[in-house]
Every structure is written in structure tokens, then in C-alpha cells.
Amino acid sequence: MTAAIDRMNLHLRQSGAVPSSRKSKRQRLASLIAATGGLRILERLPQQNCLVVLNYHRIGSPSDTVGDPNLYSATPSDLEEQVRWIKQRYHISTLDEAIAFVEGKTTLRKAGILLTFDDGYKDNYDYAFPILHKHRVEGTFFICTSYLGSSQLPWWDQIAFMIKTSRNSKVVLNYPEPLTLDLDDGKLQALNRLLCIYKTKHNLDKDKFLREIARSTGTGDERPCERIFMNKAELKEMSDNGMAVGSHTHSHPLLSHLSPELQLEEVSLSKQMLEQDLGIEIQSLAYPVGAPDSFNEHTQEALRRAGYRIAFSFHGGKNIAGKTSCYNVRRHHVGVTDGNALFKVRTSTAAVLGAPLF
Ligand SMILES: [Zn+2]
């Protein structure tokens, strides 16, 4: 299986379906800042009284997956370097401290850095948990309860898998509107176009859209069968050993696309299931996708009714003391292709300014 994935990913790198490791302008600038001593100056500047929330997804290499390569945030060695670096320089917040901060019950005096991980992939248990545990640092893991222990690909990985294994170089869709994607122009671009439609098109019949991609790519029902999400026992082990857990809904829908009743069901069911499995109170949620239009006032009303105290988005911005909405706590993306120099410059500028400079 591994050799087959390696062969497929070699082909995918050549066809542009795996993110390029070529250095971006931001990476080159960050390397220059680090090489000329700018990072040490940034680390010594006065810090804001703010909460900086970093958002990871998968840990590993994009070339390891048959699914969406965009999901990778760090290799295990990069994550360990990042945790060690932050711990030596900044205060790493716990989820309880973050809740007290947004509720105005405490100030952090300096910047607090909260480490969060979305979706509950098994690689979070395999790689992130041992690293955080070794360094005695709390991470917060947002779990989709319907994915626990699952080997089924979630919608974003399904779309990626179908594009990667397409039998046709031209993918011609008739739903939700006529669209032709030429995979020879780049599989990653085609994948991102389809993900964008899924995430942003209101009233999209999502099952019909997935069937349409399967038809147009000629991929049918082929699916990998290895377990990709952590199971209940693994999550319980993490929770019992210093990790915080929050909800990422039950089935990872775009909440704002659902009726108020269904939104309440999604956030209530996942909370109840996690509380039952773990024997702890679940007080936090991360919105699936987390863009400004991924949640709405009905979502926030549902969170209030279900008893959540804090909810995290994923579209940047600052969490300054006294000015942070408890149901829209901002988070910042960590990307595997960023590299550690860019990670350090982004994190240290966020500690000074409240959000990364670039
Ligand atoms: Zn997610």
C-alpha cells in the first residue's frame, strides 16, 4: 500500500496535485529576517495582552495521503521544533486560560499562545500527542464525533482522492453548473476549485455534487480502507493525559448552510457524545471551515443554548483583552510548506501586534 501511495504521489507532484515546496516571497523574507538577527529583536519587543491561537490540522507530509494535501500543517520534526521554540519564549495557554481570557476573568499580561488541532485525524494521536506530552504542553483537539475511529474519507478528502485518481484528464461537470476542469493544467488548482464550490455554494446538494465528481472522474466507489481518524480509546488517552478536547460538530457541515434546528442538533449531539465518552465537560467548539460565512447568528444562538463558552473561527484577526467575542475567537493557519523560519516570524509578530504581520 505504501509503495503504491509513493508511486501515486510521485505522479501527483509531477502533475501539481501536491503543494510545491518552492520558497514563497514570504518564506524568503522570513529567512532573511531570521538570518539577519531580526527574529531575536522581535522576540524581545514588548508583547500585547492578547491570545494568539495557532491552528493545525494534519501532522505528517502531504505526500503521505491519498486525500487532501492542503490539510497538512507540520511534519512531526517541525512540530517538535515549533513547540520547543514557543515554550522557550512565550506563555503557552491552556484552553481554560483562553476561556477565562475571552470572558474577561483574567488577563495574560503578555501574549498567550494556544495550540489547536482540528478534525481528529489519527496522525494527531500518533505524532502531535506524544510531542506535546513530552514537552508538557496542552494542545486542544477539536473532534468531529461522526468521524471517530472512521476509515471513511471526509468530503474534502473524497474530492481530493477522486481528482488524484481520475481516469479522465478533462473533468466535465454538469452540476451545480457546467464546468470543465483540465487536470493537465494542475490537479491542485482543480481540487481547490471544487473545494471552493463545496464550501461556498448555498443550497448545494452536497451528495449529488460528490456523485457528479465521481461520475465525471470515472472513479466510482474506489476508496482507501485504512483508518484515518483517531478512535474513542485514543481520544480518551489524550484527554486523560493533559490534552484538552472540544467539538468540531458531529458531521463537519458548513453550519451556516443548515437550518437553525439542524445547527443546534450538530453542536448539541457532538457535545453530548464527547462528554459521555470522556467524562468531562465540553465547553469549546471550532467552526468547520471557520470562514466568516461558515457560521451565523443562528449558530451562535445554538452554541448558547447548548452551553458552549467559547468558539473558534479560522480567518485571522486579533484577540485583544476586552475586545474579543467569545463566539468568534480568531485563529491563524499553520502550513507545512511555510517552514520554521516563517512560522517563527509569524508567531513572534503576532505576540507583538496581536496577529501575524504576514
Ligand atoms: Zn475541520
Q: List the domains of the chain with CATH numbers.
A: 24-81+88-97+117-149+230-353 (3.20.20.370), 155-217 (no CATH)
CA of 156 to the centre of ligand 1 (A): 9
Three-state secondary-structure class, residue 216: helix
> Distance (Å, rounded) from C-alpha 260 to C-alpha 245?
25
Residue 182 CA: distances (Å) to CA of 63, 155, 171, 208, 244: 22, 21, 6, 21, 43
Spell out the alpha helix ranges (H) of the chain: 2-15, 25-35, 38-44, 76-89, 95-102, 122-123, 129-134, 155-164, 187-200, 206-217, 232-240, 260-278, 297-306, 339-353
Share of the chain above pLDDT 70, in %: 93
Q: Find the 327 Cα to ligand 1 centroid distance in Å.
A: 17
pLDDT recorded at residue 327: 98
The terminus-to-terminus CA distance of the chain in angstroms comes to: 39
Q: Is the peptide bond before 46 cis (omega within 30 degrees of 0)?
A: no
Q: Ligand 1 mean position to 305 CA, how many Å? A: 22
pLDDT at 7: 42
pLDDT at 17 over 60: no
Cell numbers for 297: 447568528
CA of 47 to the centre of ligand 1 (A): 30
Rounded to whole angstroms, the Cα distance separating 268 from 249 reads 8
CA distances from 28 to 35, 124, 199, 338, 342 (A): 10, 29, 31, 10, 8
pLDDT band at residue 12 under the 50/70/90 scheme: very low
Tell how far the Cα of 32 is from the centroid of ligand 1, in angstroms: 33
| Helices 76-89, 339-353: crossing angle, 10 deg rounding | 30
Find the 58 Cα to ligand 1 centroid distance in Å: 10
Of the candidates 60, 186, 72, 77, the residue with the CA atom closest to the CA atom of residue 118: 72
**How many angstroms separate the alpha carbon of residue 71 from the centre of ligand 1?**
9
Please give the distance, rounded to the nearest whole angstrom, from the Cα atom of residue 257 to the centre of ligand 1.
Answer: 15
Tell me the percentage of the chain whose pLDDT exceeds 90. 84
Distance from Cα 61 to the centre of ligand 1, integer Å: 18
What is the rounded average pLDDT of the residues 350-355? 93
Instruction: Report CA(243)–ligand 1 centroid distance (Å).
Output: 18
Nearest Cα neighbor of 285 from 332, 326, 334, 315 is 326
Residues with CB under 5 A from ligand 1 (ion): 118-119, 288
| Cβ-based neighbours of 259, under 8 Å, separated by 6 or more | none
Which of the four pLDDT bands, split at 50, 70 and 90, describes residue 132? very high
How many alpha carbons fall within 13 Å on the CB side of residue 106? 14
Q: How far is the CA of 252 from the centre of ligand 1 (A)?
A: 6
The pLDDT tens digits for 35-69 are: 899 999 999 999 999 999 999 999 999 998 989 99
Cα separations in angstroms, 61 against 4, 21, 23: 16, 11, 17
Whole-number average pLDDT of the chain = 91
pTM for this one?
0.91
* Distance in Å, CA 101 to ligand 1 centroid: 24
d(CA 113, CA 132): 14
* 198 CA from centroid of ligand 1 (Å): 14
User: How are beta strands 179-182 and 170-173 bridged, if at all?
Assistant: antiparallel
What distance lies between CA 264 and its chain's CA centroid? 22
pLDDT tens digits, residue range 304-324?
999 999 999 999 999 998 899
Interval between CA 267 and ligand 1 midpoint (Å): 14
Distance 234 CA to ligand 1 centre (A): 19
* pLDDT on residue 222: 64
Phi, psi of 113 (to 5 degrees): -110, 120
CA of 306 to the centre of ligand 1 (A): 20
For residue 142, how far is its CA from the centre of ligand 1 (angstroms)? 8
Q: What angle do CA 316, 321, 327 make, to 5 degrees?
A: 55
